[in-house]
Amino acid sequence: MNGTKRLEWREALRVFRERMGGLTDAKKSYLKSDRETRKAVREALRFGSKTIPELTQQLNLPGENVTWYVMALKRYGEIVEAGRAGDYFRYALKESER
């Protein structure tokens, strides 16, 4: 990206941010929760694989939210399946994410 272009998009981004109302409190709150939950899931898996019920119990979050974050991190390559425990899959951090 050349210098002129970089300045152009930075200025366009500033105007865009203003036009969209900036970072509202609702958006900040969503972002905080989103990032904290992802971090908590990663931390919980740092020392070994877990099922979603095990993660749910440890993180004290609604099961459907934990399922969603596990699947989201799996989709983006941070988490992998690590075998089965009865009716549940186990999930682990990808080696490179440890």
Residue 61 binds to another protein (criterion: CB under 8 A): no
SS3 90: strand
x/- track of binding to another protein for residues 19-58 (CB under 8 A): -x-xx---x--xx--xx--x------------xxx--x--
Element spanning 26, H or E: helix 25-44
Residues 6+ positions from 51 with CB-CB distance below 8 Å: 85, 88, 89, 90, 91
Q: Which residues are paired to 98 by β-bridges?
A: none
Is residue 72 close enough to count as binding another protein by CB under 8 A?
yes
Binding stretches for another protein (CB under 8 A): 1, 5, 9-10, 12-13, 15-17, 20, 22-23, 27, 30-31, 34-35, 38, 51-53, 56, 63-64, 67-72, 74-76, 81, 87-89
